Amino acid sequence: MSAPLQVRTTLESAAGQAKRRAANYLAGLQQRDGHWCAELTADTTLESDYILFQLWLHPPTDGKWTPASRPLIDKAVRSILDRQLPDGGFNIYVEGPSEVSASVKAYFALKLAGVAMDDPQMVLLRNRILELGGIQAANSYVKVNLSLFDLYPRQYCPSIPPEVVLLPLNFLYQMSAWTRAIVVSLSIVHAANPRRPVPAGFNLDEIWLPGVSPAFHKDARWLTWHNIFLTTDWLLKWWERSGLKSVRRKAVRKASQWMIERMQHSDGLGAIYPPMMYSIMALDALGYAPDDPLRAQALRQFDKLMVDDGERFFFQPCFSPVWDTAIGAYALAQCDPKDPALRPAADWLLAHEVRRKADWSVKRPDTEPSGWAFFYNNEHYPDIDDTAMVMLALSDTSGSNSAAQKACHKRGLDWLLAMQSGDGGWAAFDADNNWEFLNKVPFADHNAMLDPTCPDITGRVLEALAAHGVESSHRAVRRGVDWLVRNQQSDGSWYGRWGVAYIYGTCFALRGLAASGESDREAHILCAGEWLRSIQNADGGWGESCASYDNGTFTAAESTPSQTAWAILGLIAGGDPNSLSVQHGIEYLLETQRPDGSWDEELATGTGFPKVFYLNYHLYKDYFPLLALSSFGKARANS
């Protein structure tokens, strides 16, 4: 039932004022050249890995470790300890429980940095690691990293062979883009078996849980993909000892060439922290001198991820300028299509279109290059999600050169259409990246081996296609709609791969369906709206924990501005702008907005790797509420 007219008018007026404050705040963050780029933060594992990396870069002399970066290591130590939980461990998202891999990384880093073993924080941490299963319970990447320094037996680490680049059927390209970059660079390091030194007497013996074998555990059933890959791993270890050295040399050469090619036209390999770090290690293993231009540039690019402003010290996993600019420009355009911030934003986005064939073209060789990457510069990895978001922004925003923009629109549309997977959905970087059995390889426990089609990206692509005039009867649109309907959860929600979690997926699935002409009277739309209303918090907002990924179902958390905005956007897209649920959601945004037009948000609402790595996008809290307020005003005016 609609709210009374007076209540509606008052709420709409207040929402309009809040919208203008939010727009002014967001516009004030725009850089001079037209783009936005907020900080992107994660957990303590990046600072822990930084300390490990310093040991690689500055090995001990005469058994003593005196790295040149000692002041930065001390800052990293403080940054890590500031986030220790009361039980002694470290989590991977705010308000999450202690997680064993993050805790083991922190323990290694703190002990290496010189924190005393009997320090109360170290005692707590050590006890918590043992409660969580000891070092043996950490994931494969932790063990591989430690094995580089002989701190974890290599025979109990998964093999990462460079021969993967020689396999047929484009095997390498059946892995996700980010895994591909990590595996190739790390395989070069793995092949060198460097066994770098540690300070005299340094070990991690005290966090081994007694009585627990470090060996891989086999499935009870004999014939499973997991057991097949364990047998393969045993064969690979035999190959490393006894195989043809000429094949290994060929593989290392090809892997090195592959890696170095992708370090060009990019701000580091993959432009993200893990492969950037491993690429420097790989160059060292290949014999590149520290002052070699390629190696020196790789280290400079890695160091740019560091934030050290005198008060804070942490590493960003990457930079997000295209993503932030696209969403920021779109939100401002929905608020006021004449906003002066829009033209420079459009020009900046148009200048960052990717015009180079890269990994994606292995499966789409006849498609003209286009698309946008998440980063400032990474021409090898444009992604579908960013491209769809940029296309949405450009649909309502005009740059300085209309002819060039029109041509860009056509290329972007053609690229999006070509990147549709065979099942009808869209993934992040590649099409048809769905060899499910690869999730069973021993080093796949980072939960990111594949890049499957997902509701959030599929919905956003459908929205972008509609914004550029692609008819709802178009075959690609119908296939995308069918994919979303088939992949709805039984409770009415959709899984969100790149945002936390089911609220995110449901929001963008509903927006994609609405843009594609799906009736809001369809059962799947009504069911989704009912689900969103059923999970609303008592304060009027919505919140969801990263634990949803672990539990495989929605898990409530305190309300956040971004998740509240997603729920409101989803309900409006589902034909429900007038319910009390939407009214209370808008009231939550109004009550929590700061005087400067911004919002506060502490919880992670962005997803890197589900169950493994989460992200705080520090503009999510601002541009999504702005978009929700704008959508609310338009929907009320039309209802």
What's the CA gap between 243 and 478, in Å, rounded?
51
89 touches 98 (CB < 8 A): yes
pTM for this structure? 0.95
- Using 50, 70 and 90 to split pLDDT, how confident is the model at 13? very high
| Listed residue (377, 404, 410) closest to 391, CA to CA | 410
d(CA 174, CA 233): 19
The answer, yes or no, to whether residue 47 has pLDDT greater than 60, is yes
> What pLDDT does 447 receive?
67
**What integer is the mean pLDDT of 142-160?**
94
CB 297 within 8 A of CB 307: no
Tokens for 73, please give them. Answer: 């290591």
In sequence order, the 6+-apart residues with CB closer than 8 A to the CB of 439 are 449, 450
How many C-beta atoms lie closer than 10 Å to residue 496's C-beta?
28
From the list 339, 385, 430, 432, the catalytic residue is 385
Write the single-letter amino acid at 441: V
Q: Which amino acid is at 145?
A: N
Class of domain 45-315: mainly alpha
Q: Which amino acid is at 346?
A: A
Q: Is beta strand 613-617 parallel, antiparallel or unpaired with respect to 606-609?
A: antiparallel
What average pLDDT is seen over the chain?
A: 95
CA-nearest of 210, 195, 113 to 151 is 195
Section 235-243 average pLDDT: 82
Q: Per-residue b/e over 309-318, b at no fewer than 16 CB within 10 Å?
A: eeeebbbbbb
Which pLDDT band, with edges at 50, 70 and 90, does 478 fall under?
A: very high
In eight-state DSSP terms, residue 221 is S
pLDDT score of 43 more than 70: yes
What letter represents residue 4's amino acid? P
Residue 3: pLDDT band (50, 70, 90) is low
Question: Per residue in 102-143, pLDDT tens?
Answer: 999 999 999 999 999 999 999 999 999 999 999 999 999 999
Angle at 310 between CA 304 and CA 315, to 5 degrees: 35
pLDDT tens, residue by residue, 400-442: 999 999 999 999 999 999 999 999 999 999 999 988 888 888 7
Q: What CA–CA distances, in Å, run from 87 to 45, 97, 100, 125, 524?
A: 18, 9, 12, 8, 43
Structure confidence at residue 235 as a pLDDT band (50, 70, 90): confident
Lowest-confidence segment of 154-163, 258-267, 268-277, 523-532 by average pLDDT: 154-163
Domain limits, the chain: 45-315
Per-residue pLDDT averaged across 83-105, rounded? Answer: 98
What pLDDT, on the 0 to 100 scale, is given for residue 444? 67
- The answer to whether residue 49 is catalytic is no
Burial class of residue 365 (count of CB atoms within 10 Å of its CB; 0-12, 13-18, 19+):
exposed
